[in-house]
Amino acid sequence: MKLLEYQGKELFTEYDIAVPKSYLASNQSELNQIADKLQFPVVLKSQLTVGGRGKAGAILKCTKIEELVPKFTELMNKEVKGELPKVILIEEAVNIDKELYFSLFLNRGKRTYSLISSAQGGMDIESVENKVIQDISVTGLTQSDAESVAKRLNLDGITAKSFSNIVIKLAKLVREKEAELAEINPLAILKDGTCLALDSKIIIDDNSLFRHPELRKYVQISELQEQAEKSGFSFIELDGNIAIIGNGAGLVMSTLDIVTDAGGTPGAFLDFGGRATTETIYKALEVISKLSKIKAILVNLFGGIVRTDLVAQAILNAYQDGMISVPIYARISGAESEKSKEMLSNSNAKLYDTVEEAISSLVQYKELSK
């Protein structure tokens, strides 16, 4: 779960990491309520999960109160990579002397956490130069570890102290909140020498949420997503018009690739996991049926243990109940596949022996290009 900037900053505040004074507004009347309290200049920041806000013009500076409403309205209506904000963070500007980069992240290959810092902040980490990278234990990070990072960045005096305090506090946050990533970029050094987090990027381990009731308020999923998750499915909406359903995340991903290679555009990814029963397949089709943009469905099911006639029955039921009408192209390997083909012979579904055959018929379906 990727937290929005303001949510990450709420955690920073909880862990005593300094952030600018700020307010939230999600509509005009909330904005009006805070307008009088603001000390200008302020910065308006669109709260989005996608990156690249700055470049997309979704962060705007306001030097006087007259600019507040038009700029707020502009941001509320500005879509970045298909995402509209639900709320705008309004922060009072601070006196910045210098910007640093600092993050702690789960280093998957090394199976430990790594710390990255740089005396150059504010840009994308991939383009940051002179990075200091150090493997650390988030459980055993000491004051002297933190001070040595400050030293490598050539920080001294009050700044070194303030910086190493943030290192310690962020490691504590990562450990306690079970984050995969906690990034402060930029981390500002103010004119008075102290450090302050200007931005936040935190990703929480989804699988740990069951023991973090305090973070549940940050979970934002669509109704359809919720319905899919309740059935134990992994479901992702994509841009195209072909829904891809299968058993196993890797298999569905691989099918997505083959469809894309053949010129199709996937509109949904749905992995229904290990249980291919009539009921699960029906439920999977039900989730897909809620997406009006879907014009065809590809089912790729690797059998073995699965009885294909149970899958065929689910498809038949879905058509008979009027739940779906779009054609289904299915590759279902496993027991009873001849019987299944027969069951579906009068329906809008077709069974194929290989996924390649199913996909080559699918991409010729005329409605897809309309």
Partner 1 sequence: MMSKKFDIFDILVGKSDDPDYGNKPVIIQGITGNFGSVHTRLMREYGTNIVAGVTPNKGGQSFEGIPVFDSVKDANKNFGAKISGIFVPAPFFLSAVKDAVNNGIKLLVAIPEHVPIRDAMEALEYAQTNGARIIGPNTPGVIVPSVSKIGIMPSQPFTKGSTAVFSRSGTLMYEVSYHLSREGIGQQIALGIGGDPINGTNLIEAFELISDRDEIESVVVVGEIGGDAEESLVQYIEKTGFSKPVVAYVAGRSAPKEKRMGHAGAIVYGNYGSAESKISSYAKVKIPVAKRPAEVPSLLLKLMK
Residues in contact with partner 1 by the rule CB under 8 A? 2, 49-51, 106, 108-109, 111-112, 124-126, 175, 178, 180, 205-208, 210-211, 234, 236, 238, 246-254, 256-261, 266, 269, 271, 274, 302-305, 333, 354-356
Has 101 been annotated as catalytic? yes
Measured from the CB atom, is 148 or 254 closer to partner 1?
A: 254
Do 249 and 271 touch, CB atoms closer than 8 A? yes
The residue (of 258 and 291) whose beta carbon lies closer to partner 1 is 258
DSSP-assigned beta bridge partners for residue 22: 91
* Cα 214 → chain centroid: 19
Nearest to partner 1 of 37, 275 (CB atom) = 275
CA 328, 334, 337, 340 torsion-angle sign: negative
- Distance from C-alpha of 287 to C-alpha of 12, rounded to nearest angstrom: 37
Q: How far is the CB of 24 from partner 1 (least distance, A)?
A: 24
CB of 167 or CB of 174, closer to partner 1: 174
183 catalytically annotated: yes
SS3 38: coil
Phi-psi region of 12 (alpha: psi -120 to 50; beta: other; left: phi over 0): alpha
Least distance to partner 1, CB of residue 253, Å: 4
Name the catalytic one among 6, 15, 101, 282: 101
Nearest to 310 by CA among 286, 287, 344: 344
Residue with Cβ nearer partner 1 (194 or 254): 254
Q: Contact, 283 vs 298, CB < 8 A?
A: no
What is the smallest separation between the CB atom of 269 and partner 1, expressed in angstroms?
7
Q: Least distance from C-beta 344 to partner 1, angstroms?
A: 22
Please pick, among 183, 218, 336, 352, the residue that the annotation labels catalytic. Answer: 183
Beta strands (DSSP E) in the chain are 22-25, 42-46, 59-62, 88-92, 96-107, 112-118, 132-136, 179-190, 195-197, 201-204, 234-237, 242-246, 266-271, 296-301, 328-332, 349-352
**In this structure, which amino acid lies at residue 266?**
P
- The CB-of-157 to partner 1 minimum distance in angstroms stands at 34
Catalytic residues: 101, 183
